[in-house]
């Protein structure tokens, strides 16, 4: 074992302890897969990352991403959180316009957007789920057919069953059967739009969990909490019943929803409300002169723990 620099950061929030936490080991050199996996189980966070020298000469650094149950080829909040930690620790990107992260899915461009970082959503593959699978998942979520406006299997490294529901209110009131979702082996992401006129105070009245969250919000938070969509991510097959804020899910949902006209080209997604969090994800689709579209997934990060770890 040796002493390694370490940070624990909160991602998709500007206030500590209101986003999705991430453990970042800033020097993962010499650690084998077993050691990385053991530490990820020990942190018991949804993801733990290990920063390494890049293999690809175009990259600024390489990152390996572990859940308590295994390694991921790509994930959103670990991408932004690791980049935040790397920059804060003195990392210097080779390019002025982008930081380039290497992970198992390849190279991921990350750009600065004021006080936020945003990653370029990786290529998405999507398809229609089978009616039988959709019916099983709907039953596990307690949904009726009329609640589901659209559904797609979304694959950008992680695979999610994405559901567009009839309202943010329906999203917030879900009480899933997580054992049933685990049995089906699917991670499920749900989204529902807020009426344009709705205020965070009204959102907070929709269920008991959100009411408790509203009472815990710091002064002034309500004014900045407006979002266009409410999101929730259920990942029982990974041992995570509900993820606080999920970058990869928001990326794939945005690519799908914007392409199909279900969402505007720029919107803000809220996630974590029912867990007492205030995650905010900023989604933007940009189209270049050649007609190629790129979705950017942005959010703020804050460092909560700064020190060293024996590994």
Is the pLDDT reported for residue 239 higher than 90?
no
On the question of pLDDT at 214 being above 60, the answer is: no
pLDDT (average), residues 204-214: 42
- Residue 282 is predicted with a pLDDT of 97
The two tokens of residue 53 are 């020298």
Yes or no: say if 300 and 80 are a contact pair by the CB < 8 Å rule. Answer: no
Q: Is the predicted pLDDT of residue 123 greater than 60, yes or no?
A: yes
Q: Is the fold of 3-119+300-310 the same as that of 125-287? A: yes
The vertex-119 CA angle with 118 and 124, nearest 5°, equals: 135
Tens digit of each residue's pLDDT (9 = 90 or more) over 15-70: 999 999 999 999 999 999 999 999 999 999 989 999 999 999 999 999 999 998 89
Closest C-alpha among 280, 228, 271 to residue 14: 280
List, in sequence order, every beta strand (DSSP E) within 53-158: 61-67, 70-72, 99-103, 106-113, 116-120, 125-127, 148-155
Confidence of residue 199 (pLDDT cuts 50, 70, 90): very low
Quickly state the pLDDT bin for 299 (edges 50, 70, 90).
very high
Report whether pLDDT(6) > 50. Answer: yes
The answer, yes or no, to whether residue 222 has pLDDT greater than 80, is: no
Superfamily name with CATH number, domain 125-287? Diaminopimelate Epimerase; Chain A, domain 1 (3.10.310.10)
C-alpha distance from residue 181 to each of 175, 188, 241 (Å): 12, 8, 9
In the chain, pLDDT over 70 holds for what percent of residues? 91
Q: Domain limits of the chain?
A: 3-119+300-310, 125-287
Instruction: Say which CATH class 3-119+300-310 falls into.
Output: alpha beta
DSSP count for the chain of H helices, then E strands: 8, 18
Contacts 24+ apart (CB under 8 A), 262-268: 262/149, 262/150, 262/164, 263/193, 263/228, 263/229, 264/228, 267/228, 267/229, 268/226, 268/227, 268/228, 268/229
3-state secondary structure of 130: coil
Residue closest to 255 by CA, chosen among 76, 160, 80, 123: 123
Q: Is the pLDDT of residue 210 over 60?
A: no
pLDDT, tens digit, for every residue of 78-113? 999 999 999 999 999 999 889 999 999 899 999 999
Q: Pull the structure tokens for residue 132.
A: 């039988």
How large is the average pLDDT for residues 147-163?
95
Q: How confident is the model at residue 267 (pLDDT cuts 50, 70, 90)?
A: very high
What local confidence, expressed as pLDDT, does residue 204 receive?
42
* 126 backbone φψ class: left, alpha, beta (φ>0; ψ -120 to 50): beta
Question: Does 175 or 203 have the greater pLDDT score?
Answer: 175
- Report the alpha-carbon distance of residue 212 to residue 41 in Å, rounded: 30
The residues with which 70 forms a beta bridge, in sequence order, are 67
Q: How many CB atoms lie within 10 A of CB 43?
A: 17
Contact between residue 156 and residue 248 where contact means Cβ atoms under 8 Å apart: yes
* pLDDT at residue 262 tops 60: yes
Q: How far apart are CA 233 and CA 271, in angstroms?
A: 8
Which position has the token pair 């797609």?
152
Residue 200 confidence (pLDDT): 41
Please give the pLDDT value at position 226. 83
């Amino acid at each position: 074992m040796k002493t390694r620099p370490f940070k624990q950061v909160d991602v998709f929030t500007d206030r500590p302890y209101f986003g999705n936490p991430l453990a970042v080991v800033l020097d993962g050199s010499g650690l084998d897969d077993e050691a990385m996996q053991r530490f990820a189980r020990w942190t018991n966070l949804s993801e733990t990352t290990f920063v390494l020298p890049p293999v690809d000469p175009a990259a600024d650094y390489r990152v390996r991403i572990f859940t308590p149950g295994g390694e991921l080829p790509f994930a959103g909040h670990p991408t932004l959180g690791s980049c935040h930690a790397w920059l804060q620790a003195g990392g210097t990107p080779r390019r002025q316009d982008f930081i380039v992260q290497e992970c198992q899915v390849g190279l991921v461009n990350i750009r600065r957007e004021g006080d936020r970082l945003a990653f370029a959503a990786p290529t998405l593959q999507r398809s229609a789920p089978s009616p039988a699978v959709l019916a099983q998942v709907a039953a596990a979520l307690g949904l009726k057919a009329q609640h589901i406006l659209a559904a797609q299997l979304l694959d950008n490294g992680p695979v999610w069953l994405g559901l567009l529901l009839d309202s943010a209110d329906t999203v917030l009131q879900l009480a899933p059967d997580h054992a049933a979702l685990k049995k089906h082996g699917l991670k499920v992401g749900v989204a529902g739009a807020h009426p344009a006129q709705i205020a965070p105070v009204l959102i907070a009245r929709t269920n008991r969990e959100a009411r408790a969250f509203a009472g815990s919000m710091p002064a002034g938070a309500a004014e900045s909490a407006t979002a266009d969509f409410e999101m929730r991510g259920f990942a029982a097959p990974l041992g995570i019943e509900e993820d606080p804020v999920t970058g990869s899910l928001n990326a794939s949902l945005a690519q799908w929803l914007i392409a199909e006209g279900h969402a505007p080209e720029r919107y803000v997604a809220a996630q974590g409300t029912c867990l007492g969090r205030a995650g905010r994800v900023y989604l933007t689709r940009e189209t270049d002169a050649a007609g190629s579209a790129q979705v950017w997934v942005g959010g703020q990060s804050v460092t909560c723990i700064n020190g060293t770890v024996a590994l």
